[in-house]
Amino acid sequence: MIVMTPGASADEIGAVRTRLEKTGVHVVVMPGELTTAIGAIGDPQGVAELGLEGLPGVDRVVPISRPYKLASSELSHHEPSSFDVAGRRVGGGETFCLIAGPCTVESSEQTLGVAEAVKAAGASMLRGGAFKPRTSPFAFKGLGVDALKILAEAREATGLPVVTELLDSQHADAIHEHADVIQIGARNMQNYALLEVAGKLGMPVLLKRGLSSSLDELLMAADYILKEGTEAVILCERGIRTFETATRFTLDLGAIPWLKLHTHLPVVVDPSHAAGDRRLVEPMSRAAAAVGADGIIVEVHEDPEAALCDGPQALYASQFADYARDVGAHASLLGKRLA
Ligand code: PEP
Ligand code: MN
């Protein structure tokens, strides 16, 4: 939509119209009481490239179409998309996936212990960090490729597909070899080169919302992955920065129904990093299930006090079965069963 200034002359309006028509868009001139608006229906990119803002008589150009394309629910005619990860359905409105495990792989015993516990309680996937994005460069950064091997062992033992973070494109092949779902961490949501690398691997990608990213930005980041040909992208709301510091981040629950309206992609919630405190994790998980999330990704440890990373927010493995039952009950209110 091109909005003309109040004083725009008929010649100026005509000049804009001619320019638009040359790009092949359909033009509708709408004279108003004070200003004239000109609607351009067609390729928004072609119109943007005309640089109409600089023409005499033009006040502003207002894009009406959405900035994200492949992630948009318009693309799927408002049908939710779904796909399988090692036989577990993600998205589609009938299943709820529980992705659980430690923040970080610390040892084979620790990872296998948690994996068995969450599997027995009904988790559908195992999470665990091998390469950790730490705020301080002096904090524990994960066991790297050794951790990937431990995760693969845990998958072998439990049958649970593995979700782990791709932090750097140089680890892409190793992750492709050992994992089932690539996680893109919040701090890398706008690392566009990394998003393209992840999209090229042909594996499902779990894309976390950036700490200070809008939902439009999240969906445009998803477009970077989708344009490489991967159809399996899972969005993750994990809390955003606000003025509130009582919780580690602020879980944006409104994001879930908003995303359900605007994208066909499945949406999961990470209550652990949003809360920073295990006592809040269960109520926030119930809320996430109740507002329509397709799943949860949650941190669990057998001995959180001894965890090398994010212990205070980790659920006790011994309490995970109760947790899974409660969250599953809330998901079933919306007609979803645990995947
Ligand atoms: C994680 O899942 O362990 C993690 C680091 O999450 P985020 O990128 O959301 O901070
Ligand atoms: Mn963590």
What pLDDT does 221 receive? 98
Is residue 69 one of the residues assigned to a domain? no
Same domain for 314 and 263 = yes
CB 294 within 8 A of CB 339: no
Closest CA to 262 of 309, 200, 216, 304: 216
Q: How far is the CA of 296 from the centre of ligand 1 (A)?
A: 13
Indicate whether residue 133 lines ligand 1 (CB < 6 A): yes
Q: Each residue of 39-84: pLDDT tens digit?
A: 998 888 888 889 999 999 999 999 888 889 999 998 888 899 999 9
Ligand 1 atom closest to the Cα of residue 103 is 3
Q: How far is the CA of 248 from the centre of ligand 2 (A)?
A: 12
Same domain for 87 and 45 = no
Is residue 77 one of the residues assigned to a domain? no
Q: How far is the CA of 77 from the centre of ligand 2 (A)?
A: 36
Indicate whether residue 103 lines ligand 1 (CB < 6 A): yes
Pick the residue whose CA is nearest to atom 10 on ligand 1. Answer: 186
Same domain for 312 and 281 = yes
Pick the residue whose CA is nearest to atom 1 on ligand 1. Answer: 103
Provide the pLDDT confidence category of residue 128 given band limits of 50, 70 and 90: very high
Same domain for 264 and 168 = yes
Q: How far is the CA of 67 from the centre of ligand 2 (A)?
A: 31
Same domain for 86 and 46 = no
How far, in Å, CA of 62 to CA of 88, rounded? Answer: 42
Let me know the angle formed at the C-alpha of 314 by 112 and 90, rounded to the nearest 5 degrees.
70
What's the rounded mean pLDDT across residues 178-199?
Answer: 98
Q: How far is the CA of 103 from the centre of ligand 2 (A)?
A: 4
Ligand 1 atom closest to the Cα of residue 185 is 8
Same domain for 162 and 271 = yes
Query: For residue 165, is pLDDT > 90?
Result: yes
Q: What is the CATH number of the domain that holds 31?
A: 3.30.70.1140
> Which of 10, 31, 61 is the C-terminal boundary of a domain?
61
Is residue 57 one of the residues assigned to a domain? yes
The pairs formed by 70-78 with CB atoms below 8 angstroms and a separation of 24 or more are: 70/222, 70/223, 70/226, 70/227, 71/219, 71/220, 71/222, 71/223, 71/226, 71/233, 71/263, 71/264, 71/265, 72/219, 72/262, 72/263, 72/264, 73/261, 73/262, 73/263, 73/264, 75/264, 76/264, 78/264
Give DSSP secondary structure letters for 286-313.
Answer: HHHHHTT-SEEEEEEESSGGG-SS-GGG
What pLDDT does 64 receive? 86
How far, in Å, CA of 207 to CA of 190, rounded? Answer: 10
Is residue 72 one of the residues assigned to a domain? no
Domain extent at residue 261: 82-338
- β-pairing, 88-91 vs 82-85, is antiparallel
What pLDDT does 42 receive? 83
Is residue 233 one of the residues assigned to a domain? yes
Show Cβ contacts of residue 43 under 8 Å, excluding neighbours closer than 6 positions: 23, 24, 25
Ligand 1 atom closest to the Cα of residue 209 is 9
How many structural domains does the chain have?
A: 2
What's the rounded mean pLDDT across residues 147-170?
Answer: 98
Q: What is the CATH number of the domain that holds 332?
A: 3.20.20.70
Q: Give the CA radius of gyration of the chain.
A: 23
Is residue 74 one of the residues assigned to a domain? no
Same domain for 192 and 329 = yes
Question: Where do the H-state alpha helices sit in 108-211?
Answer: 108-120, 145-158, 172-178, 192-200
Q: How far is the CA of 188 from the centre of ligand 2 (A)?
A: 15
Is residue 94 one of the residues assigned to a domain? yes
How far, in Å, CA of 127 to CA of 110, rounded? Answer: 13
Same domain for 165 and 109 = yes
Question: Which ligand has the minimum distance to the alpha carbon of residue 314?
Answer: 2
Pick the residue whose CA is nearest to atom 6 on ligand 1. Answer: 185
Same domain for 172 and 272 = yes
Same domain for 277 and 149 = yes
Q: What is the largest CA-CA distance in the chain?
A: 77
Indicate whether residue 186 lines ligand 1 (CB < 6 A): yes
Question: Which ligand has the minimum distance to the alpha carbon of residue 132?
Answer: 1
Same domain for 111 and 225 = yes
Is residue 76 one of the residues assigned to a domain? no
> Which of 15, 32, 61 is the C-terminal boundary of a domain?
61
Query: For residue 280, is pLDDT > 90?
Result: yes
Same domain for 135 and 26 = no
Q: How far is the CA of 210 from the centre of ligand 2 (A)?
A: 14
Q: How far is the CA of 186 from the centre of ligand 1 (A)?
A: 6
10 Å Cβ neighbour count for 282?
18
Mutation choice for ligand 1 from 163, 165, 268, 309, CB with most ligand atoms inside 8 A: 165
Ligand 1 atom closest to the Cα of residue 133 is 5
Q: Each residue of 225-243: pLDDT tens digit?
A: 999 999 999 999 999 999 9
What pLDDT does 120 receive? 97
Q: Each residue of 134-157: pLDDT tens digit?
A: 999 999 999 999 999 999 999 999
pTM for the model stands at 0.91
Ligand 1 atom closest to the Cα of residue 297 is 2
